Amino acid sequence: MAYTAARRAYCPYSRFAVGAACETDIGCFVGCNIESASYGLCCCAERVALFSAVAQGAESITRLAVACTSATQHSLNEKVCCGACRQVMVELMEKGAEIIIYGVGVFTLDELLPIPFRIELDQIG
């Protein structure tokens, strides 16, 4: 599903197509990267898939698959999720959730972001 979603990526600037699919308690949701000429307004495939799942009512996200179909190397460095996506994963996915990076391997959230930023909800007024 992630590989297929990458075909729908809107990436005229980077030409780096990425697709993602997340598995939840209510089904699977896909996303692709979507770029904008105003680069700060772009959104990665991982976040599109995760946000779509939450918007549809998912309460438990257990796995996320990512496919970087434009990557030229089969290395983690070129295919790994960006820091913003990793932080969103920590916020929205179950502890111990799997991240499957197509052509590279399977990782846990702790492996991809061992020390995430956190705010405890009881600390907020």
Whole-number pLDDT of residue 13? 95
CA gap 87, 120 in Å, rounded: 15
Average pLDDT score over residue span 71-90: 85
Residue at 14: amino acid letter = S
Q: With a cut of 80, say whether residue 74 has pLDDT above it.
A: no
Whether pLDDT at 116 is above 70: yes
Architecture of domain 2-123: 3-Layer(aba) Sandwich (3.40)
- What's the pTM value of the predicted model, to 2 decimals? 0.91
Among 62, 73, 61, which Cα is nearest to 104's?
Answer: 73
Give me the pLDDT at residue 2, please.
97
Confidence band (pLDDT; 50, 70, 90) for 19?
very high
Q: Is 23 annotated as catalytic?
A: no
Give the pLDDT band of residue 79 (cuts 50, 70, 90): confident
Q: Which residues have CB under 8 Å from 86's CB, separation 6+?
A: 109, 112, 113, 116
Catalytic residue among 46, 94, 111, 120: 46
- Please answer whether residues 28 and 63 qualify as being in contact, where contact means their C-beta atoms are separated by less than 8 angstroms: no
